[in-house]
Amino acid sequence: MKFFDMIMDLWFYLGLALVGIGILILLAAFFRYARKKMSDGFMMIWFLISIIVFTLGIVLIATGYSSATIVVVTVTVCLLLLIIIFVVSSMVSELMMKVRELAMQVALLNQENDSMLQQINKLKEQEKDAE
């Protein structure tokens, strides 16, 4: 019977840890957003992740030892987190492609700027020679 009580305590402490982690994720995301170090979309994603982790912790605390409930909730949470990670990776991928495109445009503009400066210098030299 002691082993059973120990497992119940383990689920309780795991639930408390998840509640704490959910709160920490939420606070960290909020402060990064407040300091303009995170965009609105990413803030909302981290808000959803923190709510999911917090809810999982509450469920673990509330159900105690019901292994079927814990398995269902854990699988559901894992699936939701995988979906969220997929969305985040898609957003990051899209942003990386935009950054690459902007870098190419900047390189082309710099090249055009250099050629224009060379033409201006040639024209100035021709004016000096003509005088």
Is the predicted pLDDT of residue 6 greater than 60, yes or no? no
The pLDDT tens digits for 80-113 are: 877 788 778 778 888 889 999 999 999 999 999 9
Picking from 79, 74, 96, the residue whose alpha carbon sits closest to that of residue 14 is 74
21-74 pLDDT, tens digit per residue, is: 889 989 988 888 898 887 888 888 888 888 988 888 888 788 766 666 666 777
pLDDT of 108: 95
Please check whether residue 11 is in contact with residue 64, taking contact to mean a CB–CB distance below 8 angstroms: yes
Average pLDDT of the chain? 82
Q: Give the pLDDT confidence score for residue 41 in this predicted structure.
A: 80
Q: What ranges do the domains of the chain cover?
A: 2-130
- In this prediction, residue 107 carries a pLDDT of 95
Across the chain, the runs of DSSP E, i.e. the strands, are: none
